[in-house]
Amino acid sequence: MLTDLFTPSVLRSLDLAGIFVFAISGALLAVRKNFDVFGIAVLAEVTALGGGLIRDLIIGAVPPAAFTDFGYFVTPLIAASLVFFLHPEVERINGAVGVFDAAGLGLFCVAGTTKAYEYGLSLTASVTLGVATAAGGGVLRDVLANEVPSLLRWDREIYAVPALVGSSVVALLVHFDALSGGTSALAALLAFALRLCAMRFGWRAPRAWNRRSTAREETEGA
């Protein structure tokens, strides 16, 4: 279905763009954690490719593209090298990196949902894998960096919710036989816009109703 909507070269270019910006975010976290050059490269690779690897292994698309297309593997290394040598400059444009990360989120949730459906999964399972494609790399990155994954933290702007919305829209479009290049782009733009709004206005997911925990907040005293 994806190949009916976009040419293979366009798909690959979009994939590599998303991989690059996700790799930048992983490499920047590695620098903040004072990792060495190997750690920077590993975190860049995991952040960029982790979600797609999870999806491909679950749906049986093996070997995953990350192991069959050299560009998928080397792009995170280019991003890691950029951050290794120019991280102060990259940090200064971190806001712009966040925008590109949001764009990658929108693209990957749509691509992940569509690819999962192509491999015979139900719409509900396809939505789940769409979210995993978009957010899985970030979860693996945070775990390797010994941090609570961002999408599980109440004090971070919503991340998985925009991906869930974008993936759900794709599922509805498939259900009503309305998926096309234009509607796929609109679904990606919706997820992108929601993530940008969350970053701009500090939208967060609600915590437990009538919460009475006396546990110390993680952010207190930070």
Whether residue 92 lies inside any domain: the answer is yes
221 within some domain: no
Contacts of 47 (CB under 8 A, 6+ apart): 22, 23, 25, 26, 27, 29, 76, 137, 138, 140, 141
In a domain, 25, yes or no: yes
The pair of structure tokens assigned to 169 is 């829209």
Looking from the CA of 122 toward its CB, the CA atoms found within 13 Å total 2
Q: Is residue 210 part of a domain?
A: no
pLDDT in tens, the chain (222 residues): 555 555 667 667 778 888 998 898 899 889 889 999 999 999 999 999 999 999 999 999 999 988 999 999 999 999 999 999 987 877 676 677 778 788 889 989 998 999 899 899 999 999 999 999 999 998 999 999 998 888 888 778 899 999 999 999 999 999 999 998 889 989 999 999 999 999 999 998 887 777 665 555 544 444
Token representation of residue 167: 């993936």
pLDDT digits (tens, 9 = 90+) for 69-105: 999 999 999 999 999 998 787 767 667 777 878 888 9
Q: What are phi and psi of 176, to 5 degrees?
A: -95, 15
Number of domains the chain is built from: 1
Residue 220, in any domain of the structure: no
For residues 169 and 186, give the distance between their C-alpha atoms in angstroms, rounded to a whole number.
9
Q: In which domain, by residue range, is 154 found? A: 2-201
pTM for the whole thing?
0.83
Residue at 215 is within a domain: no
Is 83 inside any structural domain? yes
Q: How many CB atoms lie within 10 A of CB 148?
A: 12
Say which amino acid occupies 66: A
Contact predicate 179/122, CB 8 Å: no
Cα(123)–Cα(168) distance, integer angstroms? 9
Run of H or E residues at 189? helix 181-201
